[in-house]
Structure 1
Amino acid sequence: MALETIKWLPSPNFDDRDKTVPIDMLVFHYTGMKTGAAAIERLCDPAAKVSSHYVVEEDGRIFSLIREDKRAWHAGLSFWRGARDINARSIGIEIVNPGHEFGYRPFPKVQIESVKSLAANVIARHAIPARNIVGHSDVAPARKEDPGELFNWRDLAESGIGLWPGDIAQMPVSYDTLAKGEEGMAVRALQDALQEIGYEILPDGRFGKALTQVVRAFQRHWRPERVDGIADPETQARIYAVLSEVRRLT
């Protein structure tokens, strides 16, 4: 869909941005409601106190709800790379999909093509770095699952939107599986890596509930074939590969 055909549907759910805080993040969501119309109605309902800058329908139509120079209310309690007010520094894009509660399903190609066009435009205008293009579950792993494991992050990265790790088969290190209840230096190294990527995690060397949630969020983004919160060898290899890519681009 051509960006010039974006439809303006103003939502009252916003406030002013702090002009000293740059827009340096892009956050993808799924709507998680039965229909796109229901989602837009809620995002425009003053009582709901939620919103996003854009909504992309399954047929590729794009709706603009909040001006980009305003702070939309899409991320909630969240964290990324030391920042807690993600709404203050981000653009939020809601992608229509029923989500895990109402029948999660693949995102149509026409919808993803519109997402790519919109995201590329936003990224170019705000110079958003690849490491700051994330999902709601990345910034709120204890609360959120969206946009979920069916969202093709690799496809977006190949179009210049976000990052994807290199060939993990080239990594010389093998790993033992780590899971909830384990402790030690390998767990601490995993926590340090996830923290450097951007996740909120206390590096205490203990594999508890919080680390399980963060590993699950990482898997939804970078290892969608397995989303169980267990750091098996391939998940760990991908974590360190993403970290390497983050460092390369920093």
Structure 2
Amino acid sequence: MKSRNFNDRKLPITMVVLHYTGMETADCARERLCDPQAEVSAHWLVTEAGEVESLVDEDKRAWHAGVGSWNGISDVNSASIGIEIVNGGHNVLTADGKLPAYPDVQILAVIKLCKEIVARHNIRPANIVGHSDIAPDRKEDPGEHFPWAGLAAAGIGHWPSDLTEDERIVFEAGDRDRGISIIQRGLADLGYGVSVTGCLDDQTQAVIRAVQRRYRPGKINGVIDMQILDVLKRLSLLARAVAA
């Protein structure tokens, strides 16, 4: 099937955005992504069995990102390739209330697809992002159960290794400090949509939760601790090394 939910791009392709479908089956997801009334779509759909389906041609602007930003780009749909990965996520939990696992065969297919897209469009590792990275105040996918470290090990995206185990709190909600301004600038340099206010406000907490969800999924609380500072430092060093 092909989706009719697309229009023309206004920007060159510079990023890949990964999503989970948040639905019970691939059939349900495919039907919605191809439904004109839903006004949503993606370029690619990857099933639990590792089947990769093209729903929108890559030269067209699919409607997968919605309101959000990355590297100052607010029209993320125009600048990105959207990949929907069949997984119930936070919407369809398992019988014991857990997030459903991503099968290995599915992740291998995602890795292969991402490598092909990166090669076609010369996309930088820092621009392989999740929906929660570009819209941290409203999205959680592909979720804290998504194996970002495995993708990075295969050459897709960045992963900060050998993190400190120090989780002492540095800043909490509502704190104001010059150090928070420095952290906000660092988050913006990484690509996150955050304003420099010097306050650990709601927007900044949402971004910190997105960072935690991806790089420190065991504790997602929006608090800035020593381990999160280490994550941000290592991500900055990785981005600089690639840019050099």
Q: Same fold (TM over 0.5)?
A: yes
TM-score range (shorter-chain normalised) is over 0.9
Partner of 1:134: 129
Partner of 2:236: 243
Partner of 1:90: 80
Q: Distance in 1 between matches of 2:66 and 2:78?
A: 11
Provide the TM-score with structure 1 as the length reference: 0.91
- Give, as a single letter, the amino acid of the residue that structure 2 aligns with 1:233: M
Q: Distance in 2 between matches of 1:135 and 1:176?
A: 26
The answer (yes or no) to whether the contact 1:175–1:237 under 8 Å persists in 2 is no
Query: Once the two structures are superposed, what CA deviation does each residue of 1:168-198 show, in whole Å capped at 9, x if it has no partner?
Result: 34xxx99752111111012112111111111
- 1:1-250 correspondence to structure 2 within 5 Å: 9-18=1-10, 21-103=11-93, 104-169=99-164, 176-250=169-243
Q: Distance in 2 between matches of 1:235 and 1:162?
A: 18
Gaps of 5+ in 1: 1-8
Q: Following TM superposition, by how much is the alpha carbon of 1:207 offset from its aligned partner in structure 2, in angstroms? A: 0.6
- Give, as a single letter, the amino acid of the residue that structure 2 aligns with 1:143: R
Structure 1 stretches of at least 4 aligned residues deviating more than 4 Å after TM superposition: 173-176
Give the superposed CA RMSD: 1.6
Q: Following TM superposition, by how much is the alpha carbon of 1:164 offset from its aligned partner in structure 2, in angstroms? A: 1.2
Q: Distance in 2 between matches of 1:142 and 1:80?
A: 13
The answer (yes or no) to whether the contact 1:26–1:92 under 8 Å persists in 2 is yes
Provide the TM-score with structure 2 as the length reference: 0.94
Gaps of 5+ in 2: 94-98
The answer (yes or no) to whether the contact 2:212–2:219 under 8 Å persists in 1 is yes
Partner of 2:96: none
SS at match of 2:129: strand
Query: Once the two structures are superposed, what CA deviation does each residue of 1:73-123 show, in whole Å capped at 9, x if it has no partner?
Result: 000011000111011011000000111021131111010000011111111
The answer (yes or no) to whether the contact 1:175–1:236 under 8 Å persists in 2 is no
